[in-house]
Amino acid sequence: MGKPHIGILTYRNGHRFQEPGYFRRLISEGQKLGATVFLFSHEDAFEQKRMIRGFYPSAKGGWENKLFPWPDVVIDRCRKGSPGYRQFRKKKLFLYANNTYTNKWNATRLFMQDDAVQRWMPHTVAYSPEHLKEMLKKYRLLYIKPGNGTGGRSILKLTRTVEGYTVLGRDNRLVKKTARFQTLPPLIRWLNRWVKTERIREGNFMIQQGLDLSLVPGRATDTRLLIQKNELGEWDITGLGIRIGGKNSSTSNLHGGGKAVPFESFMVQRFGPEKTKSILLECRELARQVVQTIERHFGPMMEFGLDIGIDVNGRIWLIEVNPKPGREIFKRIGRMDLYRRSIQRPLLYALYLLQASKRPPLNRENAG
């Protein structure tokens, strides 16, 4: 029997990929595990021949391609939901390590309605001028977020002040934006333009209750938790870390100028050891409840990055869930062991799935 072939489905622009460093590590770790790993886009599958134009690192630093046999299992890492990709996914041509998910707005509605998760959810509604007025009456701080955004793009932080309203955020190119308004009508006109010009992939916007996450004064702070399936096909928390946003930034995203620090030492300094232990246990419980809820609705999954807000009182909130998460935070906090494990786990789970698919079904009449 030859080496197992693992295909990584992603977006390709010519010979360029969105996450080249991560993909090189993924392919290298796959080789160490005895697998052949290659990248491909939905345009690279030749269905009749059952062959794939696959890409792999060149010794010169770029990417080479050749024809590979049909992959035994595919990891979907495509972060750009083009119509061609969506149609391709519907065909179910492969054994996939992860099912398709949904956008952030639909996921938020699901979590708000789920008995096991709703206690961690901030109040969230679809964007409209009427909803904005209602939310501003209830909360001094709001976030205006795209329903299918990523990486902190197009997110606004809106604060009601004595002088009026202050808006702070980043557009879909991550350029900082600030604005101030004395009254509501010009604010609404400005926001109406924003949700039209800054929408991502024709998606809508939502208004979310703002949280006081300034564990470091004047800076947005949150926790990124990575939960992944392991080599036994079981959910396990790989690790977590704190992200501290840049000065005058509406989010804590690392590529928006934020920095990362280890979770435990930071939280102990802020809340003490006992409270930190309790917060950590609740973060773990939240992560497990979230992935169980998702799998009930969407089928088997592989990994998720949870953005968890811990407010100044130590209360825990679920901010958002990322189905194709980054793992740079482990590098930033100096945990290369966790960084490497976070890269290995999707491959180990893919190999587990492949073996499980070859096992004969259990004969329940003769079992036990």
Radius of gyration of the chain (CA): 22
Identify the CATH number of the domain in which residue 236 sits.
3.30.470.20
The residue out of 168, 192, 209 marking a domain boundary is 209
| Within a domain: 366 | no
**Do 199 and 231 fall within a single domain?**
no
Can you spell out the DSSP letters for 279-307? HHHHHHHHHHHHHHHHHHHH----EEEEE
The residue out of 177, 209, 241 marking a domain boundary is 209
Strands 5-9 and 36-40: parallel
Q: Which helix (H) or strand (E) element contains residue 347?
A: helix 336-358
Residues 6 or more apart whose Cβ sits within 8 Å of residue 137: none
**Which tokens hold the place of 154?**
């197009």
**Do 244 and 292 fall within a single domain?**
yes
pTM of the complete model = 0.90
**Do 152 and 180 fall within a single domain?**
yes
Domain that holds residue 87: 5-96
Identify the CATH number of the domain in which residue 40 sits.
3.40.50.20
* Nearest-angstrom CA–CA distance, 284 and 116: 13
**Do 273 and 336 fall within a single domain?**
yes
Number of domains in the chain: 3
| Within a domain: 105 | no
**Do 305 and 205 fall within a single domain?**
no
The pLDDT value given to residue 27: 98
Using an 8 Å Cβ cutoff, are 248 and 168 in contact? yes
Pick the more confident residue, 153 or 187: 187
CA-CA-CA-CA torsion sign (55, 57, 63, 66): negative
pLDDT of 150 strictly over 80 = no
**Do 227 and 270 fall within a single domain?**
yes
Least reliable range by pLDDT among 103-107, 236-240, 289-293, 330-334: 103-107
**How crowded is residue 69: how many other Cβ atoms within 10 Å of its Cβ?**
14
Most confident stretch, 163-172, 196-205, 247-256, 273-282: 273-282
**Do 158 and 203 fall within a single domain?**
yes
| Within a domain: 115 | no
**Do 178 and 310 fall within a single domain?**
no
